[in-house]
A and B are shown apart, each in its own frame.
Chain A
Amino acid sequence: MGSKAISKLSDGISQDLFEFAGYDEEEAKRAGYSNYSYWRSTWQVFIKNRVALVLLILMTTVLVFTLIQPYLPNQKLPTKIYIDESTGMQLSNHKPDSEFWFGTNSIGQDIWARIWSGTRTSLLIGLAVGFFEALVGITVGAMWGYIRPLDRPITEVYNVINNVPKTIILILLTYIMRPGLGTMIFAMCMTGWINMARFVRNLIIIIRDREYNLASKCLGTPTRRIITKNLLPYLVSVIMLRMALAIPLAIGYEVFLTYIGLGLPVSIPSLGNLINEGRLLMMAPSLRYQLIFPALVLSIITISFYVMGNVFSDAADPRNHV
């Protein structure tokens, strides 16, 4: 066909060069289809970052390990007091060795077991509080920011809740309920969501009057749809970072509560009270391992969530998806 010289354009057009295409529904769909999926792309960008991936695997491992650790062979109980055979007394402040991997504390409990038990407690607090904060905080915050008639009343409620000192509520709570995990989680949830709500509200106020939202509104898009489809996706990246930080923040808050004497009882190990016990030993270099190990675990968890949060929020921004 190509070898044939064409002297005149119309001459070269022969019927057999064309044929009618039939209507193919599948093909038609494909023309309008891109295989772009928001979450898949986010995931792809996320795992491109090696560090984040490693940390994700690490955190998953830690999480799994804290859950199965008590069932592994040769593990010690976190609250059992070990006795020194030679004196018949508690094996206190025993340095780390092959038997007690992280040593023992002042009354002869195994720090390795206590740390994992404590990590379990603290992660549970962190996850529960973080999840609750996100759920309630985002819902309330979005409504607060977008629905103008609600702005005033919620702002007033916010002002009231935010300004009644948490300590009063915490003391009354521990007075009414017994100190323990449930109380701690409940107390943190009671007081924590409000900041998330305000954070979301501020972001929404900033973008709600942008032109595309006005356009949507003019076109009669229902409020719920504007919030969920126009506003929230825009905020995913920042909200993810905030959530990732909520977990270490909750753990940090637990340390603080322990510091002012409203924490968990020592018989329930948590990273908070492990660190607080260890703090008192800062002045004794040979005993510092009792501070360093729990602080290290806490740091690793915090760093992981922080870095993952940052990378994920970068990845969640569609403009970074290519």
Chain B
Amino acid sequence: MKKLLVLMLILMLALTGCWSGGTDQPTDGDETGVEEPSSVPKEFTWTYSGEITTLNYLVTASTNEFGVAANLVDSLIDYDRYGVVQPALATEWTTSDDGLVWTFKIREGVKWVTHEGIEYAEVTAQDFVDAAEYLLDSTNESKTANIFYSVIKNAEEYYNGDITDFSQVGVKAVDKHTLEYTLKQPTPYFLSMLNYVAFFPVNGQFLEEVGDRFGTDHKNFLYNGAFIMEIFEPQTRRILVKNENYWDKDNIFLTKINYLYNKESATLAPELFARGEIDYAAIPSSIIDEWMKDSKKKEMVRPNRTSFYTYFYALNFDPKFDEQYEPDNWKIAVNNKNFRKSLFHALDRKAAMLTAEPYNPEQKLSNTITPRNFVSIGGSDYTQIGKLNDFTTTDSFNKTKAVEYKEKAMEELQGNANFPVIVYMPYNSGSTEWANRAQVIEQQMENLLGKDYIDIVIAAKPPTNFLSENRRNGNYAFLEANWGPDYADPETYTGPFYPGGTYNFPEFVEGYTEANGEKSYTNLVDTAKAEVLDIAKRYELFADAEAFLIEEAFVIPYALGGGGYSASRLNPFESQYSPFGVSAERFKGQHLLEKPMNTEQYHEEREAWEKAREKALK
């Protein structure tokens, strides 16, 4: 037995030896030789659990992927830490009087470099035109082309093949350093869109050289951003090093970023952080109590900022679910305002949120569809404008009101609808939190309103095709849904509810029809969309439209994405701030903290940041 053991060990060591001898890995930092001797290398290491499929920023629409690309390639404009637009690749810009033609002056002397840091070419206006041509070629399978062609003149026609002459598309290189975009119609939020990957540049010559392989790995890629990807080993690691040719390199304080892959990151990262092997770890809500009670770990953990993803509960006006759950009965009930309002006030959002965020559930709740701090005008936040302000600070959950409305609804619906009304609520069985939440909501609402009034039926549905099968097909009565912004303007949050949206089909509501044959909400949004010059007025009109949705209880606003807790050696308030686009993913301007921030420091910093932001926005 002993011999065997020895043999085993020898065999193993031999194999290990052979193996590691065979691969030539550049060892850690000190050999790269690109750092200035004066500055201490600032290395940031963290883990990630979802591998990127591509670096091709002209194709991907996933945050995970363009988040990496955003650090490698710069955009025309950028945002600072308070969300104020800053020049980046464009140094200045002008708009024509009709708001249709935007002209950008491209920064001179910015270089494209290869993964080895060797200069390849200069960044010119033509690079943006080449990028657009690539993006609008439908065989390139770009997932962001629609964002581009929703604003640029003739772009959609070119994408669909209705026109074949690319010079008719509204993007032109006037000279080497002047770029001109022509829009379909005046678009007040156009500038914010330039921060998105669909408007990134690419070097046409390089694109031709590498062909299909563009963006498949770090070698088939050109860099003009703050970092260069030195190593790309899928499912193992990737390493970014500072780009010494970057035009704004003085604002880059990290010299190296190590991304380590781990599929079980959610479970292992907190332990890795505690052992000092990494500098950032998300702390899952299930163990946050544990960390807060540990005197040492307590000092290392802090809340995260919430994101601009919005979650809400939708009441379906065009129910198409199975007969056994009585869709016709639901249709009668949902068209009664008092019934809707009884549900609106009966949903205990805090209880629901406890399934995702047990430690500080209020942090993530949202009383509006559009998240706070998304856009603001004249120093006041969008959620505090117009009629929307009535809802911003009040919790929709209200036991007395819920019961009041229930009684009214029962009176009005008596004889029309059968009680209890079956509320058919599917959920995605792939998500434990969602499954838990569905169970909590079922019991909480039934207990409050009584089982003689509603009967919530929860149904586990497979993750495969979940949205198509359930939400888009109208195969539900009551459903948790979410939406993220496509540009920095409140209009983006009307998408789910405007006719043609595949959420809760409010255009099928009975009544609310106005003189022009359209529903009230459609008219409200159309009026707001038409207001393109007076931004304050525009925002107010959109706020009123959103207030209408909430007041009539077409939807129940629920929560924001993001949030939660993390242990990190980065200061979240140093990072660039933008409601939409790639700036928030960038490491520009961030320092490595000596010690991770704790919760008190976070709140202090947050307050200071909010004050400074108010000043910066005025």
Contact = CB atoms under 8 A, between A and B. Distances in A.
Do A and B touch each other in the complex, judged by CB within 8 A?
yes
Contact of B463 (A90, A261, A267): A261
Contact of A265 (B266, B355, B435): B435
B435 A267 contact: yes
Contacts of B438: 267
Given A107-B440, A265-B435, A285 B351 contact: no
A219 interface: no
A92 B290 CA distance: 14
A180 interface: yes
Contacts of A53: none
B464 A284 contact: no
Interface in B428-483: 429-430, 432, 435-436, 438-440, 443-444, 458-465
A81 B440 contact: yes
A266 B432 contact: yes
Contacts of A174: 462, 464
B354 A180 contact: no
Contacts of A280: 266-267, 284, 286
A285 B354 CA distance: 21
B436 A107 contact: yes
B289 interface: yes
A171 B443 contact: no
Contacts of A175: 462, 464-465
A213 interface: no
A180 B464 CA distance: 14
Contacts of B290: 283-287
A179 B286 contact: no
A48 interface: no
A90 B353 CA distance: 11
A89 B351 contact: yes
A109 B419 CA distance: 28
A79 B440 CA distance: 10
Contact of B354 (A107, A178, A282, A286): A107
B270 to A, nearest CB: 6
A320 to B, nearest CB: 28
B287 interface: yes
Contact of B462 (A106, A107, A179, A267): A179
B354 A266 contact: no
Contacts of A283: 267, 270-271, 287, 290
Contacts of A80: 443
A90 B351 contact: yes
Interface string A283-300: 111110000000000000
Interface residues of B, number: 32
B536 to A, nearest CB: 41
A267 B441 CA distance: 13
B398 to A, nearest CB: 14
A287 B440 CA distance: 21
A265 B439 contact: no
Contact of A90 (B429, B440, B464): B440
Nearest to B356: A106
Contacts of B464: 171, 174-175
Interface in B318-363: 350-351, 354-355, 358
Contacts of A47: none
A151 interface: no
Given A279-B267, A283-B267, A283-B271, A89 B432 contact: no
Contact of B439 (A107, A179, A286): A107
B286 A79 contact: no
A155 B456 CA distance: 51
A277 interface: yes
B286 A178 contact: no
Contacts of B462: 174-175, 178-179
A281 interface: yes
B287 A266 contact: no
A287 B286 contact: yes
Contacts of A266: 429, 432, 435-436, 439, 460
A106 B439 contact: no
Contact of B429 (A79, A107, A265, A286): A265
A196 B93 CA distance: 73
A285 B286 CA distance: 11
B460 to A, nearest CB: 3
Contacts of A281: 286-287
A6 B440 CA distance: 104
Contacts of A267: 435, 438-439, 458, 460
A171 B466 CA distance: 13
Contacts of A179: 429, 460-462
B354 A89 contact: yes
A265 B460 contact: yes
B435 A284 contact: no
A237 B430 CA distance: 41
B460 A178 contact: yes
Contacts of B459: 178
A106 B429 contact: no
Nearest to A277: B432
Contacts of B266: 280
Interface string B256-284: 00000000001100110000000000001
Contacts of A268: 460
A258 to B, nearest CB: 10
A64 B505 CA distance: 51
A284 B460 contact: no
Contacts of B463: 261
A106 B267 contact: no
Interface in A228-278: 261, 265-268, 277
A287 B287 contact: yes
B439 A79 contact: yes
Question: Quick one: which of B267, B286, B289 has the most chain A CB within 10 A?
Answer: B286
Nearest to B430: A261
6 contacts: A80-B443, A175-B462, A179-B461, A267-B458, A280-B286, A284-B287
Q: Which 7 A-B pairs have the closest CB atoms?
A: A265-B460, A266-B435, A265-B429, A284-B290, A284-B287, A174-B462, A107-B436
